Amino acid sequence: MQNKVIEVTDGIFGKVLNEYNNGYETTAGFVKKQDAKFVDCVSITFDAEHDTELPTNWDEIVWLTENNTRQYISEIRFGTEWPYIMADGTKSRSVTYDEV
């Protein structure tokens, strides 16, 4: 179940963290079992408009930047055009989480 992705709301996807009798805890919130729509998804991209929707463990994930490098996010500047400050100091407008 750990590698499943659910559409939590229209266009917002979350990776399943835990399964309970009544639903699923995901990186984007809780989903009732009857509402669960599993999707085949290999990556989730977050842009400046969705910077507040990152998983709570964003600092533990190696992200793919728009510069095509994989690294950790060191800082997020919410509400800016370049919200993601990467470990090497570069800025990125979007970051992608994917399972390699």
Which pLDDT tens digit goes with each residue over 63-78?
988 888 889 999 999 8
Residue whose structure tokens are 């800016």: 80
| Residue-wise pLDDT tens digits, 17-38 | 889 999 999 878 899 999 888 8
CA distance between the termini of the chain: 17
- Please report the pLDDT score of residue 31 as a whole number: 92
Q: Which helix (H) or strand (E) holds 10?
A: none
Q: Which two tokens stand for residue 33?
A: 């079992």
- Please report the pLDDT score of residue 44 as a whole number: 77
pTM above threshold 0.85? no
- Cβ partners under 8 Å of residue 83, min gap 6: 48, 51, 76, 77, 93
Q: Which two tokens stand for residue 18?
A: 């835990």
